[in-house]
Amino acid sequence: MEILRQKKGFICDMDGVLYHGNKILPGAKEFIDWLRAENKEFLFLTNSSERSPKELSQKLCRLGIEVGEEHFYTSALATASFVAWQSPGCSAYVIGEAGLINAIYDADLSMNDVNPEYVIVGETRSYSFEKIEKAVELVQKGAKLIGTNPDKTGPTEKGIMPATGALIAPIEIASGREAYFIGKPNPLMMKSALKKLGTDVKDTVIIGDRMDTDIVAGTESEIDTVLVLTGVTQKEHINDFSYRPRYVLNNVGEILD
């Protein structure tokens, strides 16, 4: 893995790479310690929209890994930035958790369940038929439908669970409108990550556990890709895709071997 260790910038997914729920994954702490010891530029880029960078930093701290919040970038931040760029100061009907709601407010946007310009959906544990009805109504009235990320599932301690792509599907079907997704593999997410890192494409690598988001995002951005087998995509499923990761590792710690 000497070629990987020579890279200057590391973009790393979190769920399925560093942890499952509140369980740290093998090699994660050693890998992050190595990034700091070698003065590497690194960014944890997650499609999860539930938590803010501060909360993600605190979560890693509880797992025994201290990383400053400046090293985190989420699909919630990318979504709020995109909507604010498209329609500054607009309003949105939001189905999501605190990480997404705070990002919306921080981008100088407001909440509106009467005549919003956007309906935005992210991961949430308070999903309900009432919220689906409201979202469908607003989209049919002309609100633009946005998903924080296209992931249909995500890894947890309990196994694979529904994610944004699955939650937004009923709204798409009932309204007859397709959502626009901001998170990986959207190039907007990758451009933001590279800008924050400040490294060149050829000196950067992306590490993830999903072929359909992390690996395709790196491939389309011409960044070297590493698939770790601790999350969603397993080795026997790699050939189901028309593209391949540059490297396949059992866990992120193998970069140090």
Report the distance separating Cα 206 and Cα 216, nearest Å: 10
Contact between 118 and 93 (Cβ < 8 Å)? yes
Q: Got the DSSP string for 43-55?
A: EEEES--SS-HHH
Determine which helix (DSSP H) or strand (DSSP E) holds 34, and give its type and residue range. helix 28-37
Determine which helix (DSSP H) or strand (DSSP E) holds 81, and give its type and residue range. helix 75-86
Enumerate the active-site residues. 13, 15
Query: 154: closest CA among 129, 124, 121, 177?
Result: 124
Compute, in degrees rounded to 10, the torsion defined by CA atoms 37, 38, 42, 44.
Answer: -40
Contact between 241 and 17 (Cβ < 8 Å)? no
